[in-house]
Amino acid sequence: MKKKSGLWLTVAPLYIFTIIFVVGPLLYMFVLSFCTRGENYETILEFTFDNYKKIAEPVYRTTFLQSIKLAFSTTIFVGIIGYPFGYFMAKLPSDKKKLMMALIMIPFWTSSLVRMYGWSILLQSNGILDKILMGIGITQKPLKLLYTYPAVLSGMVYALLPFMILAVYSSAEKMDWSLVEAARDLGASAWKAFWTVTWKLTLPGFMSGIVLTFVPSMGLFFVADILGGNKVVLVGNVIQEQLTKGRNWPFAAALSVILMIMTSLFIAVYRKVTGARELEGLF
Protein backbone atom coordinates (compact mmCIF):
# COMPACT_ATOMS: atom_id res chain seq x y z
CA MET A 1 0.00 0.00 0.00
CA LYS A 2 1.21 3.46 -0.79
CA LYS A 3 1.89 5.60 2.23
CA LYS A 4 -0.18 8.72 2.27
CA SER A 5 2.13 11.64 2.78
CA GLY A 6 0.66 14.59 4.56
CA LEU A 7 -1.37 12.41 6.88
CA TRP A 8 1.10 13.13 9.67
CA LEU A 9 0.07 16.79 9.43
CA THR A 10 -3.35 15.97 10.80
CA VAL A 11 -1.96 14.26 13.88
CA ALA A 12 0.96 16.63 14.38
CA PRO A 13 -0.96 19.07 16.63
CA LEU A 14 -1.74 16.20 18.96
CA TYR A 15 1.94 15.29 19.28
CA ILE A 16 3.00 18.90 19.71
CA PHE A 17 0.39 19.40 22.43
CA THR A 18 1.42 16.23 24.22
CA ILE A 19 5.11 17.12 24.09
CA ILE A 20 4.60 20.65 25.40
CA PHE A 21 2.06 19.94 28.10
CA VAL A 22 2.70 16.37 29.16
CA VAL A 23 6.17 15.10 28.26
CA GLY A 24 7.91 18.43 28.89
CA PRO A 25 6.66 19.01 32.45
CA LEU A 26 7.23 15.36 33.34
CA LEU A 27 10.82 15.56 32.16
CA TYR A 28 11.28 18.82 34.01
CA MET A 29 9.96 17.24 37.19
CA PHE A 30 12.17 14.21 36.74
CA VAL A 31 15.33 16.31 36.26
CA LEU A 32 14.34 18.55 39.15
CA SER A 33 14.07 15.60 41.49
CA PHE A 34 17.82 14.95 41.11
CA CYS A 35 18.82 18.59 41.74
CA THR A 36 20.21 20.12 44.91
CA ARG A 37 18.60 22.83 46.90
CA GLY A 38 20.88 25.79 47.55
CA GLU A 39 21.33 27.67 50.82
CA ASN A 40 18.96 30.41 49.74
CA TYR A 41 16.25 27.88 48.81
CA GLU A 42 17.22 28.12 45.16
CA THR A 43 17.53 25.06 42.96
CA ILE A 44 21.03 24.17 41.80
CA LEU A 45 21.59 21.92 38.82
CA GLU A 46 23.81 19.50 40.70
CA PHE A 47 23.13 15.76 40.63
CA THR A 48 22.15 14.14 43.92
CA PHE A 49 20.16 11.17 45.30
CA ASP A 50 19.50 12.98 48.57
CA ASN A 51 15.87 13.80 47.76
CA TYR A 52 15.05 10.15 47.27
CA LYS A 53 17.01 9.09 50.35
CA LYS A 54 14.99 11.57 52.36
CA ILE A 55 11.73 9.91 51.32
CA ALA A 56 12.87 6.73 53.04
CA GLU A 57 12.80 8.55 56.39
CA PRO A 58 10.07 7.19 58.69
CA VAL A 59 7.99 10.36 58.68
CA TYR A 60 7.59 10.30 54.91
CA ARG A 61 7.20 6.58 54.78
CA THR A 62 4.25 6.90 57.17
CA THR A 63 2.77 9.60 54.99
CA PHE A 64 2.94 7.38 51.94
CA LEU A 65 1.38 4.49 53.82
CA GLN A 66 -1.40 6.70 55.08
CA SER A 67 -2.07 7.99 51.57
CA ILE A 68 -2.29 4.48 50.16
CA LYS A 69 -4.56 3.39 52.98
CA LEU A 70 -6.85 6.36 52.43
CA ALA A 71 -6.87 5.83 48.67
CA PHE A 72 -7.87 2.20 49.12
CA SER A 73 -10.59 2.95 51.68
CA THR A 74 -11.93 5.75 49.49
CA THR A 75 -12.03 3.50 46.45
CA ILE A 76 -13.79 0.72 48.36
CA PHE A 77 -16.48 3.07 49.71
CA VAL A 78 -16.92 4.80 46.37
CA GLY A 79 -17.29 1.39 44.72
CA ILE A 80 -19.83 0.13 47.24
CA ILE A 81 -21.97 3.27 46.97
CA GLY A 82 -21.31 4.16 43.34
CA TYR A 83 -22.02 0.84 41.65
CA PRO A 84 -25.62 0.39 42.85
CA PHE A 85 -26.21 4.10 42.33
CA GLY A 86 -25.08 4.02 38.69
CA TYR A 87 -26.86 0.72 38.09
CA PHE A 88 -30.25 1.86 39.37
CA MET A 89 -29.87 5.22 37.68
CA ALA A 90 -29.58 3.44 34.34
CA LYS A 91 -32.85 1.62 35.04
CA LEU A 92 -34.83 4.81 35.71
CA PRO A 93 -37.27 6.16 33.14
CA SER A 94 -35.58 8.71 30.92
CA ASP A 95 -37.05 11.87 32.51
CA LYS A 96 -35.89 10.76 35.97
CA LYS A 97 -32.52 9.86 34.48
CA LYS A 98 -32.08 13.42 33.29
CA LEU A 99 -33.01 14.77 36.71
CA MET A 100 -30.51 12.49 38.46
CA MET A 101 -27.84 13.45 35.97
CA ALA A 102 -28.49 17.13 36.69
CA LEU A 103 -28.34 16.54 40.43
CA ILE A 104 -24.98 14.85 40.02
CA MET A 105 -23.56 17.49 37.68
CA ILE A 106 -24.76 20.65 39.42
CA PRO A 107 -22.24 20.42 42.32
CA PHE A 108 -19.49 20.43 39.69
CA TRP A 109 -20.42 23.99 38.83
CA THR A 110 -19.12 25.00 42.26
CA SER A 111 -15.43 24.89 43.09
CA SER A 112 -14.57 21.70 44.91
CA LEU A 113 -12.71 23.83 47.44
CA VAL A 114 -15.94 25.62 48.34
CA ARG A 115 -17.74 22.30 48.63
CA MET A 116 -15.08 21.05 51.06
CA TYR A 117 -15.56 24.14 53.20
CA GLY A 118 -19.23 23.26 53.14
CA TRP A 119 -18.35 19.89 54.61
CA SER A 120 -16.27 21.53 57.33
CA ILE A 121 -19.25 23.69 58.32
CA LEU A 122 -21.38 20.56 58.42
CA LEU A 123 -18.92 18.54 60.49
CA GLN A 124 -17.33 21.13 62.80
CA SER A 125 -17.83 21.06 66.55
CA ASN A 126 -21.27 22.48 67.30
CA GLY A 127 -21.78 22.54 63.53
CA ILE A 128 -24.94 21.64 61.61
CA LEU A 129 -24.64 17.88 62.05
CA ASP A 130 -23.91 18.17 65.78
CA LYS A 131 -26.85 20.51 66.29
CA ILE A 132 -29.22 18.16 64.49
CA LEU A 133 -27.98 15.09 66.36
CA MET A 134 -28.13 16.87 69.73
CA GLY A 135 -31.45 18.45 68.82
CA ILE A 136 -33.17 15.13 68.32
CA GLY A 137 -31.36 13.70 71.33
CA ILE A 138 -29.15 11.10 69.65
CA THR A 139 -25.98 12.63 71.08
CA GLN A 140 -25.47 14.77 74.18
CA LYS A 141 -22.29 16.66 73.34
CA PRO A 142 -20.51 17.69 70.14
CA LEU A 143 -18.94 14.74 68.33
CA LYS A 144 -15.72 16.49 67.28
CA LEU A 145 -16.03 15.06 63.76
CA LEU A 146 -13.94 17.58 61.93
CA TYR A 147 -10.20 16.99 61.65
CA THR A 148 -10.50 13.24 61.93
CA TYR A 149 -9.74 10.40 59.55
CA PRO A 150 -13.43 9.64 58.95
CA ALA A 151 -14.03 13.29 58.06
CA VAL A 152 -11.31 13.17 55.41
CA LEU A 153 -12.60 9.83 54.15
CA SER A 154 -16.14 11.24 53.84
CA GLY A 155 -14.84 14.24 51.94
CA MET A 156 -12.81 12.06 49.58
CA VAL A 157 -15.73 9.71 48.93
CA TYR A 158 -17.97 12.69 48.33
CA ALA A 159 -15.51 14.29 45.91
CA LEU A 160 -14.85 11.16 43.86
CA LEU A 161 -18.22 9.39 43.94
CA PRO A 162 -19.59 11.08 40.79
CA PHE A 163 -16.79 9.59 38.68
CA MET A 164 -17.76 6.10 39.75
CA ILE A 165 -21.47 6.75 39.30
CA LEU A 166 -21.00 8.11 35.80
CA ALA A 167 -18.61 5.33 34.80
CA VAL A 168 -20.98 2.60 35.98
CA TYR A 169 -23.99 4.43 34.59
CA SER A 170 -22.48 4.72 31.13
CA SER A 171 -21.89 0.99 30.88
CA ALA A 172 -25.21 0.02 32.51
CA GLU A 173 -26.98 2.41 30.16
CA LYS A 174 -25.61 0.50 27.17
CA MET A 175 -26.81 -2.81 28.65
CA ASP A 176 -29.33 -4.76 26.63
CA TRP A 177 -31.75 -5.75 29.38
CA SER A 178 -33.27 -8.47 27.22
CA LEU A 179 -30.09 -10.40 28.02
CA VAL A 180 -31.20 -10.56 31.64
CA GLU A 181 -34.56 -11.86 30.47
CA ALA A 182 -32.78 -14.43 28.34
CA ALA A 183 -30.80 -15.55 31.40
CA ARG A 184 -33.99 -15.82 33.47
CA ASP A 185 -35.62 -17.72 30.65
CA LEU A 186 -32.72 -20.17 30.61
CA GLY A 187 -33.18 -20.90 34.29
CA ALA A 188 -31.13 -18.32 36.16
CA SER A 189 -32.55 -16.78 39.32
CA ALA A 190 -32.64 -12.99 39.44
CA TRP A 191 -29.46 -13.01 41.50
CA LYS A 192 -27.67 -15.50 39.27
CA ALA A 193 -28.72 -13.54 36.17
CA PHE A 194 -27.22 -10.42 37.72
CA TRP A 195 -23.87 -12.07 38.45
CA THR A 196 -23.51 -13.96 35.19
CA VAL A 197 -24.78 -11.24 32.87
CA THR A 198 -25.33 -7.74 34.27
CA TRP A 199 -22.26 -7.69 36.50
CA LYS A 200 -20.03 -9.07 33.76
CA LEU A 201 -21.27 -6.51 31.25
CA THR A 202 -21.04 -3.51 33.57
CA LEU A 203 -17.63 -4.56 34.88
CA PRO A 204 -15.69 -2.43 32.38
CA GLY A 205 -17.50 0.67 33.66
CA PHE A 206 -16.88 -0.33 37.26
CA MET A 207 -13.20 -0.93 36.53
CA SER A 208 -12.85 2.48 34.90
CA GLY A 209 -14.57 3.93 37.95
CA ILE A 210 -12.02 2.26 40.24
CA VAL A 211 -9.12 3.80 38.34
CA LEU A 212 -10.85 7.17 38.12
CA THR A 213 -11.25 7.07 41.90
CA PHE A 214 -7.99 5.55 43.03
CA VAL A 215 -5.61 7.65 40.97
CA PRO A 216 -6.86 11.09 42.06
CA SER A 217 -7.39 9.96 45.63
CA MET A 218 -3.61 9.42 45.92
CA GLY A 219 -3.02 13.07 45.23
CA LEU A 220 -6.01 15.10 46.47
CA PHE A 221 -4.41 17.29 49.11
CA PHE A 222 -7.03 19.96 49.77
CA VAL A 223 -9.56 17.51 51.20
CA ALA A 224 -7.10 16.42 53.88
CA ASP A 225 -6.09 20.06 54.32
CA ILE A 226 -9.58 21.32 55.02
CA LEU A 227 -11.20 18.34 56.71
CA GLY A 228 -8.13 16.75 58.30
CA GLY A 229 -6.31 19.80 59.65
CA ASN A 230 -2.85 18.64 60.62
CA LYS A 231 -4.20 15.30 61.84
CA VAL A 232 -4.31 13.62 58.47
CA VAL A 233 -1.28 14.34 56.31
CA LEU A 234 -1.03 12.81 52.88
CA VAL A 235 1.68 12.79 50.22
CA GLY A 236 -0.22 15.48 48.38
CA ASN A 237 -0.06 17.72 51.44
CA VAL A 238 3.69 17.19 51.83
CA ILE A 239 4.30 17.98 48.17
CA GLN A 240 2.21 21.11 48.39
CA GLU A 241 4.01 22.17 51.58
CA GLN A 242 7.47 21.57 50.10
CA LEU A 243 6.53 23.62 47.05
CA THR A 244 5.17 26.54 49.03
CA LYS A 245 6.26 26.96 52.65
CA GLY A 246 9.24 24.61 52.48
CA ARG A 247 10.47 26.04 49.16
CA ASN A 248 12.15 22.75 48.39
CA TRP A 249 11.23 22.09 44.77
CA PRO A 250 13.70 19.23 44.20
CA PHE A 251 12.27 17.30 47.15
CA ALA A 252 8.69 18.01 46.06
CA ALA A 253 9.64 16.75 42.61
CA ALA A 254 11.13 13.57 44.06
CA LEU A 255 7.96 12.95 46.09
CA SER A 256 5.87 13.48 42.95
CA VAL A 257 7.99 11.05 40.95
CA ILE A 258 7.56 8.36 43.61
CA LEU A 259 3.82 9.04 43.81
CA MET A 260 3.55 8.74 40.07
CA ILE A 261 5.51 5.51 39.97
CA MET A 262 3.28 4.06 42.68
CA THR A 263 0.11 5.04 40.88
CA SER A 264 1.39 3.65 37.58
CA LEU A 265 2.39 0.47 39.37
CA PHE A 266 -1.11 0.18 40.77
CA ILE A 267 -2.64 0.57 37.33
CA ALA A 268 -0.18 -1.90 35.82
CA VAL A 269 -0.97 -4.55 38.45
CA TYR A 270 -4.66 -3.79 38.11
CA ARG A 271 -4.57 -4.18 34.36
CA LYS A 272 -2.65 -7.42 34.68
CA VAL A 273 -5.17 -8.83 37.14
CA THR A 274 -8.34 -7.71 35.40
CA GLY A 275 -7.26 -7.97 31.78
CA ALA A 276 -6.37 -4.80 29.94
CA ARG A 277 -9.22 -4.86 27.45
CA GLU A 278 -11.73 -4.49 30.25
CA LEU A 279 -10.64 -0.89 30.74
CA GLU A 280 -12.32 0.36 27.64
CA GLY A 281 -11.34 3.80 26.50
CA LEU A 282 -9.30 4.74 29.53
CA PHE A 283 -5.86 3.65 28.47
Q: Which residues bind other proteins (CB under 8 A)?
A: 176, 178-179, 181-189, 192-193, 196-197, 200-201
End-to-end CA distance of the chain: 29
Return the ∠ at Cα 178 (arms to 173 and 183), rounded to 5°: 115
Q: Which of these, 211, 219, 223, 212, lies nearest to 252 by C-alpha position?
A: 219
- In the complex with other proteins, which residue's Cβ is closer, 196 or 274? 196
- In the complex with other proteins, which residue's Cβ is closer, 90 or 215? 90
- In the complex with other proteins, which residue's Cβ is closer, 28 or 177? 177
Residues 6 or more apart whose Cβ sits within 8 Å of residue 213: 74, 75, 78, 79, 82, 160, 163, 164
Task: List Cα–Cα distances, 13 to 18, 41, 208, in angstroms.
Answer: 8, 38, 27
- In the complex with other proteins, which residue's Cβ is closer, 187 or 281? 187
Query: Long-range contacts for 59-68 (Cβ within 8 Å, ≥24 apart)?
Result: 60/238, 60/255, 63/233, 63/234, 63/235, 63/237, 63/238, 64/235, 64/258, 64/262, 66/232, 66/233, 66/234, 67/218, 67/234, 67/235, 67/236, 67/259, 68/218, 68/262
Q: Could you tell me the smallest distance in angstroms from the CB atom of residue 181 to other proteins?
A: 5
- In the complex with other proteins, which residue's Cβ is closer, 241 or 278? 278
Q: Could you tell me the smallest distance in angstroms from the CB atom of residue 184 to other proteins?
A: 4
Q: Could you tell me the smallest distance in angstroms from the CB atom of residue 207 to other proteins?
A: 14
Tell me phi and psi for residue 43, to 5 degrees. Answer: -100, 125
- In the complex with other proteins, which residue's Cβ is closer, 197 or 235? 197
Q: Could you tell me the smallest distance in angstroms from the CB atom of residue 45 to other proteins?
A: 54
- Name the H helices within 45-148: 50-55, 58-91, 94-105, 112-123, 128-135
Beta strands in 108-222 (DSSP E): none
- In the complex with other proteins, which residue's Cβ is closer, 12 or 182? 182
Q: Could you tell me the smallest distance in angstroms from the CB atom of residue 280 to other proteins?
A: 13
Q: Could you tell me the smallest distance in angstroms from the CB atom of residue 201 to other proteins?
A: 6
41 contacts 247 by C-beta, under 8 angstroms: yes
Q: Could you tell me the smallest distance in angstroms from the CB atom of residue 198 to other proteins?
A: 11
- In the complex with other proteins, which residue's Cβ is closer, 202 or 237? 202
Q: Could you tell me the smallest distance in angstroms from the CB atom of residue 199 to other proteins?
A: 10
